[in-house]
Amino acid sequence: MSHDTYELKAEAREQVGKGSARAVRRNGKVPAVIYGDKQPPLAIALTYKDIYYKIHGGGFLTTVATIDVDGKKIQVLPKDFQLDPVKDFPVHVDFLRIGKDTEVNVDVPVHFINEDKSPGIKRGGVLNIVRHEVEFHCPANAIPEFITIDLTGTNIGDSIHISAVKLPAGVKPVISDRDFTIATIAGSSAMKPEVEETAEVAAPEAAPVAEEK
């Protein structure tokens, strides 16, 4: 699983709709809905402070959580959230109810290691990241925190494809019809030549000018 799981306390909401949601926000809480696992949707209200720090703390959409709704504990995965466009505070959250066989599509960050062991980057080449995240289909309780790409030995002009990445069991890229590119090593104007030239080519000597008689 990507991050340590956590627990949130929530209250069930009997009423739904815009008016009810506004009333929840006026009371310092955030309206949310738990859906999925072949059960009816459950409207809840979360403590604003708790959900704010979870959303802005990183890994929110890839971490399974437990929501305690009036004493009943429900395992969920955050699927979406809305922020106020001006003040950036949460105004609504959607949670997917997790069953033992639940599988999800989720965007997983890409991490790169060993840039100092890439001959191409050492020569002044540039790591051109095509995909900062990759969407995977995987068990909801086994979402990888990130995928790692080792740049050891990569050179100018090399491309790193998804087939070169070792993935955990049960984790498959959503794009399955092609071996897509995640990053390339591109040349740059600051690139060093592979062989340093140590001697300049000597200019041919000018022919002597004949004296006029």
- 45-80 pLDDT, tens digit each: 999 999 999 998 888 999 999 999 989 999 999 999
Q: What angle do CA 112, 118, 123 make, to 5 degrees?
A: 125
pLDDT for residue 190: 57
Helix H segments across the chain? 18-26, 48-56, 119-122
How far is 108 from 146, CA to CA, in rounded Å? 5
Q: What angle do CA 34, 39, 45 make, to 5 degrees?
A: 25
In a domain, 143, yes or no: yes
pLDDT for residue 180: 97
CA distances from 65 to 52, 97, 151, 155 (A): 15, 10, 34, 42
Domain count, the chain: 2
Q: Which amino acid is at 127?
A: L
Per-residue pLDDT tens for 176-189? 999 999 999 998 76
- Pair 38, 81 in one domain: yes
CA distances from 1 to 105, 139, 206 (A): 14, 9, 76
How far is 123 from 86, CA to CA, in rounded Å? 44
- Of 74, 99, 124, the domain-final residue: 99
Does the pLDDT of residue 87 top 80, yes or no?
yes
In a domain, 194, yes or no: no
- Pair 138, 81 in one domain: no
pTM: predicted TM-score of the whole model, two decimal places:
0.73
How far is 40 from 12, CA to CA, in rounded Å? 13
In a domain, 11, yes or no: yes
Per-residue pLDDT tens for 8-40? 999 998 766 666 777 788 888 999 999 998 899
22: its two tokens: 């506004």
pLDDT for residue 201: 44
C-alpha 62: how far from chain center: 9
Which range of residues forms the domain containing residue 170?
104-186
In a domain, 201, yes or no: no
pLDDT for residue 199: 41
> Domain of 39: which CATH number?
2.40.240.10
In a domain, 17, yes or no: yes
How far is 187 from 164, CA to CA, in rounded Å? 21
Give the residue-averaged pLDDT of 70-99.
92
Radius of gyration of the chain (CA): 28
Average pLDDT, the chain: 86
138: its two tokens: 């995987």
For the ranges 36-40, 146-150, 181-185, 192-196, which has the lowest average pLDDT?
A: 192-196
How far is 28 from 47, CA to CA, in rounded Å? 7
- Pair 108, 181 in one domain: yes
- Pair 10, 77 in one domain: yes
- Of 99, 127, 145, the domain-final residue: 99
Question: Which residues sit opposite 112 in a β-bridge?
Answer: 149
- Pair 69, 91 in one domain: yes
- Pair 68, 46 in one domain: yes
> Domain of 125: which CATH number?
2.170.120.20
CB–CB of 158/186 below 8 Å? no
- Pair 144, 118 in one domain: yes
Does the pLDDT of residue 105 top 60, yes or no?
yes
